[in-house]
Chains A and B, each alone.
Chain A
Amino acid sequence: MALAEQKTDLAEARLAAISIPQAGAWLSEARNAAAARLRRMGLPVGRDEYWRYTRPDTLTSVAPVAAAVFDAQDEVPIFAEIETLHIVFVDGVFDAEESDDLTGENLEVARLAEAGQADIHWAQQLFGQLEAAAHTHVDRPLAALNTAIAPDGMLIRVTGPVTKPVHITYRHRDEHSDACLHHVIRLEAGSSLTLLENGPAAARFNKVMEVEIADRAAFHHIRAQGRDHERRAATHIFARLGTESRFKSFTLTANGVMTRNECVIDLQGDNAAAHVAGAALGDGDFHHDDTVFVTHDALNCESRQVFKKVLRNGATGVFQGKILVKEGAQKTDGYQISQSLLLDDDSVFLAKPELEIYADDVACSHGSTTGAIDETALYYLRSRGIPRIEAQDMLVLSFLAEAIDEIEDPDISAEIILRLQGWLARHRH
Chain B
Amino acid sequence: MVIEEENYCKEYTGFEMMLVSACRQIRHDDVVFNAFHWPFLVVHMAKLLRFPNLFTVMEVGLSQNEVPKPDKMPYSIVDPVLVPNSVFVGDSIDALSILQRGEITLAFLSTSIIDKYGNGNTTVIGPYKKPIYRLPGGGGATEIAGLANRLIWLLDDHSKYRFVEKLDFITDPGYLNGYDSRIKAGYPLNSGPEAIITPLCIMRFDPFTKEAYLDALHPNATIEQVKEETGWNLKIADEVRDIKPPTMREIEICRKTMKDAIDQYYILKPEWTKYLEK
Q: Does A pair with B?
A: no
Chain B contact residues, CB within 8 Å of chain A = none
Chain A contact residues, CB within 8 Å of chain B = none
